[in-house]
Amino acid sequence: MTDILKPNPVAGDMEWFVHDRFGMFIHWGTYALAARHEWVKNHERMDDAAYRKYFTYFDPDLYDPAAWARAARKAGMKYVVLTTKHHEGFCLWDSAYTDYKVTNTPYGKDALLPFVDAFRAEGLKVGFYYSLIDWHHPDFPIDGIHPLRDHPDAVEMNKSRDIGKYREYLHNQVRELLTDFGKIDILWFDFSYPTNEHRGMRGKGHEDWGSDELLTMIRELQPGIIVNNRLNLPADRADIHTPEQYQPTEWVKVDGKRVYWETCQTFSGSWGYYRDEMTWKSPEQLIRMLVNSVSCGGNLLMNVGPTARGAFDDRACKALQVYEHWMRLHSRSIYGCTQSEFDAPADCRFTQNGKRLYLHIFAWPFRAIHLPGFAGKVDYAQLLNDASEVLMKETEEDVHANMVETTGCGTLTLELPVTKPDVTVPVVELFLK
């Protein structure tokens, strides 16, 4: 890749990140009991008393982080990002700064240390998601996305809420997370909304969080850690940019410059476990999301929302198996790969790793794929799933007449079997000369 195409250097260690490409996001908290979206407290405008039942009954008796880690590793995921605290404010570790934590639920044990150990044991890198927003902390001022936003006394209640105290809490917790759990590879903050306004109550941004100081502390505690872009600081202070539930179709740019990026996606629309949600993505959609991300120089962070028993439900297991089966045969077109220097033909995506070019075929054609301009460039071609040779033919002229004319090069035709190989997305591996 020429330098102009590369993102500017950042503070975080990006080498493993751009190699590994595929991670697991996990959203798990007391909202798993409600099982109707991790924003349920906000959606249903619940106060702390109404929401308390999910804390009172939090008892994930099937929680086995080793099983989660194994499923992630088998799916081909190389890193994990877990919600240590989501917007609800509940902490999955034994924080010294709050009582609203897992050790005080019927479960009664720390959930984070065993998690970190289990994922490291499977060889995955470990990231922490930490919600800047906190709908439980008594000093967090009510704003337009707070569950109490429409409470008649909200404005009055804010008079006794001190963002300075909340900021201190946030910094203390982040220090704890980056001190007590060994090397942490990613810190994933969520999120800032400085321009939001509701009944005169304003949203929150870098001044509220003390983002500048916070980031300095983070870099001191964990050099090399990758920090995302949701602290409301200038774009170049972030290591990765994080388009959410949307699939970029080209390399993500900020101020006209390519950046390191990772899209986060769900199996079914919500992040937390949602029993009645039916919009589960098809196997094709799941694999294409991964391929599309890498073909545009990015990563995919795919989410699982475990149940309140502490397990992945059958639908999530099936979705993970889709990745497992495909990655077993095709991980070579993902790991270490990035956007290709070549444009892919219709219904296809390229990824590239040096002299190996991977043609992902989204719609299986009849017998042939033509690659204008490729004559003389490819030494050997094979289907990746079984390393069976793909015969090639070079034509001087015409398959795609105008391309041939404009490039002055011939077309390479790949001769494909009539029947699509029995894999979700077939890949042809092209060895460039």
Nearer to ligand GLC, 27 or 73 (CB): 27
Task: State the nearest-atom distance from the C-beta of 243 to ligand GLC, in Å.
Answer: 9
Q: What are phi and psi of 300, to 5 degrees?
A: -120, 130
CB-wise, 13 or 244, nearer to ligand GLC?
244
Report the candidate in 158, 228, 178 with the shortest Cα–Cα distance to residue 17: 228
Nearer to ligand GLC, 38 or 143 (CB): 38
The least CB distance from residue 271 to ligand GLC, in Å, is 5
Q: Which residue is nearest to ligand GLC (CB)?
A: 244
Helix then strand then coil, % of the chain, to nearest 5: 30, 20, 50
Enumerate binding residues for ligand GLC (CB under 6 A). 27, 38-39, 190-191, 244, 264, 271
Kindly state the smallest distance separating residue 27's Cβ from ligand GLC, in Å: 6
Nearer to ligand GLC, 230 or 349 (CB): 230
Residue among 119, 90, 126, 124 at smallest CA distance from 107: 90
Nearest residue to 83 via CA among 137, 29, 160: 29
By C-beta, is 44 or 386 nearer to ligand GLC?
44
For the bound state, the minimum distance from the C-beta of residue 180 to ligand GLC, rounded and expressed in Å, comes to 23
What's the Cα-to-Cα distance from 231 to each of 8, 191, 215, 310, rounded to whole Å? 19, 7, 9, 30
**In the bound complex, what is the minimum distance in angstroms from residue 35's beta carbon to ligand GLC?**
15
Closest residue by Cα to residue 94 from 180, 170, 168: 180
Task: CB nearer to ligand GLC: give 27 or 330.
Answer: 27
Spell out the residues 6+ positions from residue 204 whose beta carbon is closer than 8 angstroms to its own: 132, 133, 141, 143, 163, 192, 193, 194
Closest separation in Å from C-beta 179 to ligand GLC: 24
**Between 166 and 326, CB nearer to ligand GLC:** 166
Of 136, 120, 134, 130, which Cα lies nearest the Cα of 48? 136
Contacts of 325 (CB under 8 A, 6+ apart): 423, 424
Q: How far is the CB of 321 from ligand GLC (least distance, A)?
A: 23
- Strand ranges (DSSP E) for 91-179? 125-131
Sequence-distant contacts of 345-353: CB under 8 A, at least 24 apart: 345/369, 345/370, 345/371, 349/291, 349/292, 349/295, 350/295, 351/291, 351/294, 351/295
